[in-house]
Amino acid sequence: AWVTRPAPTAPAVRSDGRRGPPTAPPPCPVDALSFSDPLGLAVSPDGHSVYVATAATYEAQLHHFERGAGNALTGQECWTSPDPGAFEDCGAGRRVPGIGTAQSVVATNTRVFVAGHAQSAVAAFTRDATSGGLTAQGCVKWVSVVHECGEANELAGLDDIRTVVLS
């Protein structure tokens, strides 16, 4: 597989053969630095979306790709931590608590979950079944004095989290 940028506009039937709205150019870069320390990989059950969790501290922590013809991966979006100094090229609204130093990612048809080691948290996203696009839904984290996920979403025992698994 290789990484490409999508065209600025797309036809009604996308290059991957699926129907859906045109895909905008990704707000995240596709340079090698943005993909350092990939520790988690998840492929959606339909096989079209690929999500990569990266542990790079000041870079995007979650990358979304769509598979196209010949299994080419096209960058769609990235997500990063709201921490000061964190990567800012993912675009407006793509900073979400709980994914700092991402360790693993798991995807279903309708959800994506990311384990973020820096905040000892699990961030949840809804997944659009047509485009694979993500919408942040919140997070749960270990009990601490910093309440990025909201104090009601803190759970004892989540400290030093490194993986997330669904069963």
Q: What is the residue-level pLDDT of the chain in tens, covering all 167 positions?
A: 444 444 444 434 444 444 444 444 445 665 555 567 888 999 999 999 999 998 876 667 899 999 988 988 888 888 888 876 666 677 777 888 888 888 899 999 999 999 988 888 999 999 999 999 999 999 999 998 888 888 899 988 888 888 888 87
Three-state SS for 109?
A: coil
Tokens of 125: 């996203």
CB 94 within 8 A of CB 78: yes
